[in-house]
Amino acid sequence: MQYRPNWILTFSLCACFGFIAGCSTTHKPTEEEFQEPTKVDSKFSIDEFTEATKVDAQGWADGLKSFQVSCRTLSKRPMWQEVCAAADQTSPENAEVFFRTRFNPWKISKITIGTQTGTVYDVSDTGLMTGYYEPLLHASRYKTGAHHIPILSTPDDLIVVDLASLYPSLKGMRLRGKLIGRKLVPYDDRAHIVERRDLENNALAWSADPVGVFFLQIQGSGRLEFPDGEVMRVGYDDQNGHPYKAVGSWLVQKGYLKKHELSMQNIKKWAEQHPNRIDELLNQNPSFVFFKSRPVGDPNEGPQGAMGLPLTPGASVAVDKRQIPLGIPLIVTANQANPPLNFTRIVSAQDTGGAITGPLRFDYFWGFGDEAGKQAGRQKSEVTAWLLLPKGVTPEDIR
């Protein structure tokens, strides 16, 4: 699993600007080479619709529906106006013909480049796709003996610094912290936040399930159902600035789970079997997400993604928007051996996530509820992907 949607890539205050530049991976040099920092970039090459033969009729129809949602925003841009107008007039039955006649697929590759020499160290056309969903939590409007885990809104003492205002090269990056006297220091990590009683006034609701709230933060949105049947929708508002760390990795390192056993379900099961160690488990991840209430809207529609538009189950993905602009339709092919999971779908880039970085890193939205959660919790697929761009439009035109 990974930390769910953080629209902006965040850095903790303990990272200086020189460190930021050195965070990327480094090529192991040969005797003839010197060590240099690297960066990841994307490469696109025009292709055929060969892979799309695996998409079934429902996949084409869902892909059209998702793209029609994207067009609520894309249609304001000249290069998308014509194709969005055509999409609005296309029936689900004609979705495949619409995409095949109006788009070209551009295969996505990830390239690793030396920042000093420009040397290309690696080129790959496969990446990673995980899954996420919209969970349902039973909650209380008030703190009770059982319901004592708060679902918090953003605290007033969280300060966000936009780095691009001083350093344009750091566009999209922000620091998060709080003031101690006149000094800006890193904001509290998870362990300290859960101990703070002064934040209880920021509770949107209260849960009896600490693990459920933890996974709500990872998913980034969800529904809260109160005893009287009323439902509140909540979505990501901000984050404490600490990097996400997967608690599953800790379970593997300690020998509590095997690597192939890692899933949301097995993590929850371990927590149920070790109730006295839940805090220890969850605090392995110092990141903490704050929420805001959102309109309930149509219960048949997904939650709002980073575009402010509802996600489509099975046809929306989270992307790194520095590599793939939001709204763009794609073909994605997922392959996974254990547990088996293989599919090809037409999707739209409509969300982002704190762990979603690079051109071939996606999070696939499965939908709402327990069944969607089961599918999302077991997904860790190899993925290949293609941008779908209107004919006559190139990747350079959209970046």
Which burial class, exposed, middle or buried, applies to 243 when counting CB atoms under 10 A from its CB (0-12, 13-18, 19+)?
Answer: middle
pLDDT in tens, 214-249: 999 999 999 999 999 999 999 999 999 999 999 999
C-beta of residue 105 within 8 angstroms of C-beta of residue 331: yes
How are beta strands 127-134 and 136-140 bridged, if at all? Answer: unpaired
State how far the Cα of 231 lies from the Cα of 338, in Å rounded to an integer. 36
β-pair partners for 315:
none
- What pLDDT score was predicted for residue 162? 85
CA-based angle 238:240:245, to the nearest 5? 110
Amino acid at position 235, single letter: G
Tokens representing 57 are: 């009729």
Sole residue written with tokens 């007033």: 156
Half-sphere exposure of 305 (CA within 13 A, CB side): 32
Radius of gyration over every alpha carbon of the chain, rounded to an integer in angstroms: 22
In which residue ranges of the chain is pLDDT below 70? Answer: 1-34, 172
173 neighbors 23 (Cβ within 8 angstroms):
no
Burial of 254 (0-12, 13-18, 19+ CB in 10 A): exposed
User: Could you give the 3-state DSSP secondary structure of residue 189?
Assistant: coil
Q: How confident is the model at residue 34, as a pLDDT?
A: 54
Alpha carbon distance 352, 350 (integer Å): 7
- CB neighbourhood size of 389 (10 A): 24
The reply to whether omega before 227 is within 30° of 0 (cis) is no
Q: Report the distance separating Cα 287 and Cα 282, nearest Å.
A: 10
Report which residue type is found at 148: H
- For the chain, report the end-to-end CA distance as a whole number of angstroms: 29
